[in-house]
Structure 1
């Protein structure tokens, strides 16, 4: 089955909650959409077709949801910001600005939230920045080349893809546990309930999924 063709434009990021709610970043129309597993639209965030400077949104890139249901969105192609929303979609606050300093971004491209920490893939600054859920800077990991996607599994392994092309596994302290090369750079990474990992890549405009 498929759905959403009339709503979704230029999909860039997807997040699936534990209750099978599907959050979709519709980059081309500056929106984040929430659906149930049957494709029913439950929530839309943003102003369709109306980009905003450092406000939601200007070509957003990714979305993640905390255990409490708060929604975090990286806004990286037209802005340099992360936005936090309540489960209802109400905007709480945003943080970030263009640059390479702490809390600044150059194409924030991917995001994950785990146990009160927000992991932001700061692609063109070649790093992952870590914040608390109030947007306060904690630390950063810098051993990447244009990192793209991030995923944390049930065993608290952190998976990061970059444009080397390379696939890196880290622990919660940022220690590299393993690293390998892939035939194409991974644009995103996700896991399933069986512990399998999937890396999305883009080759000649065709998306494909590689089972890791």
Structure 2
């Protein structure tokens, strides 16, 4: 941690008077009432909460759910939501809105940045679940669309049944993608049949793995909500896949062979986000002390190079007993509703996108 960051961190902690727990007494039902100097997190990963970061209006750029966010090569922050007035919102790091577009993704859910030949592209995932204008939930087949940063479509990956990969009774409702260094695309079918499907850079099928019916149950995925390419060991890239209903990540080789699981007891984690030697993830729900899953109990979790949890911004401090991670809880005076995704910018600030958070914009966590 450099001198400037130490100074900012110490000053912020002095004004807040506490690390990892905001000032007590603020209602869970009114998290917007938390003070501006709220500091959350643990160890070297503490953050100042900024709920008013995004400078947008509910009339000009309405939001339903802010599902995911990535940072492009120019430092801009690109958010995907499920409001078809503006599926894509593009911000600068101050929160100013630079551009918005997109009206074809009512189930806008997953967003991945692909860099090819010096140009940025987006992989947009529509999961197939959406709300109509009356607020009723509908479903349709999902899709994965590759676009440039202006929304021009490059190609579309549709239902795997059309190429004979899925059986007629296997649904396809994808939630996420990841892109390997060679350009291969991995699609997580997290709301459908729980496979990870591998395509080449042109969208041509290679293989699929995971699912729910393997002889060795450790190879199964249950709510395969996210997938990421882990390049922390440059000589041994692997895939980290979310098995959210099992409250864990599972690690596979790049060709789909199971390696190990990373247990996250009590935490319903979303996609893994890799940054330097750390793995970040939004926690959509967590359990209470009695082991019951709670609504509005999300936060963020951060793992180190050895996949040990080192910080839970918005949650209680991680603890280990005889090397085993113990369940973490959301703070009683909660900062988040349901953490769905995080984006780590080049200054190590974190932006938290939320599902079912009362149409709120992403929350910025400024590293201190």
Normalized against structure 1, the TM-score is what?
A: 0.88
Q: Is the 8 A contact 1:121 1:129 kept in 2?
A: yes
* Pairwise CA distance, 1:160: 1.8
Corresponding position of 2:238: 117
Residues 131 and 159 (structure 1), Cα distance of their counterparts in 2 relative to 1, 3 Å cut: same
Bigger proportion of residues as helix? 2
Is 1:102 the counterpart of 2:226? The answer is no
- Secondary structure of 1:17's aligned partner: strand
Distance 2:123 2:170 in 1: 16
Corresponding position of 2:361: 208
From 252, 265, 271, give the equivalent of 1:149: 271
Q: Is the 8 A contact 1:106 1:125 kept in 2?
A: yes
Corresponding position of 1:36: 148
Runs of 4+ more than 4 Å apart: 52-57
Residues 114 and 93 (structure 1), Cα distance of their counterparts in 2 relative to 1, 3 Å cut: same
* Pairwise CA distance, 1:207: 4.6
Give the aligned CA root-mean-square deviation in angstroms: 2.6
Corresponding position of 2:46: none
Q: Is the 8 A contact 1:54 1:81 kept in 2?
A: no
Distance 1:27 1:64 in 2: 15
Of structures 1 and 2, the larger Rg is shown by: 2
Corresponding position of 1:20: 120
Distance 1:55 1:35 in 2: 30
Distance 1:150 1:56 in 2: 25
Further displaced range: 195-204 or 78-87: 195-204
Q: Give ranges in structure 2 of 5+ residues lacking alignment.
A: 1-98, 129-140, 232-236, 287-297, 316-334
* Pairwise CA distance, 1:171: 2.0
Q: Give ranges in structure 1 of 5+ residues lacking alignment.
A: none
Corresponding position of 1:196: 349
* Pairwise CA distance, 1:136: 0.7
Bigger proportion of residues as strand? 1
Is 1:9 the counterpart of 2:142? The answer is no
Distance 1:130 1:24 in 2: 23
Normalized against structure 2, the TM-score is what?
A: 0.53
Residues 55 and 118 (structure 1), Cα distance of their counterparts in 2 relative to 1, 3 Å cut: farther
Residues 105 and 203 (structure 1), Cα distance of their counterparts in 2 relative to 1, 3 Å cut: same
- Number of paired residues? 210
Corresponding position of 2:18: none
Q: After the TM superposition, which residues 66-85 of structure 1 pair with which residues of structure 2 at under 5 Å, given as runs?
A: 66-85=180-199
Corresponding position of 1:172: 305
Higher relative contact order (CA 8 A, sep 6+): 2
Further displaced range: 57-66 or 92-101: 92-101
